[in-house]
Amino acid sequence: QVQLVESGGGLVQAGGSLGLSCAASGNIYTIRPMGWYRQAPGKQRELVASITSGGTTNYADSVKGRFTISRDNAKNTVYLQMNSLTPEDTAVYYCYVDFVRIFWGQGTQVTVSS
């Protein structure tokens, strides 16, 4: 079994920063792609950022230059540093790991106030 535990969500003011963390555990014996999706009420889920086992990153246009994804392979943990936050970033953020199939974290709420 594979489990992902997220942390770091919360309430911040516009222009502020927030860091998310997601730790994968279970029967994962190789380094796999990981990343973050988000979903706001009434909107489709969108891919925010991803990172390969080798460290190659990809970002949604809406967050490019503001968010940074990174990983610690020894800990099977992926991070998302979010800077210059705006109310449009308000959503539930879900981490994932691509291993045999996609495994999802439980989601963490990020709320950005005006």
pLDDT in tens, the chain (114 residues): 899 999 999 999 999 999 999 999 988 777 889 999 999 999 999 999 999 989 999 999 999 999 999 999 889 899 999 999 999 999 999 999 998 899 999 999 999 999
**Angle in degrees, CA 83, 84, 86, rounded to 5:** 120
Q: For residue 23, what pLDDT is reported?
A: 95
Q: For residue 62, what pLDDT is reported?
A: 97
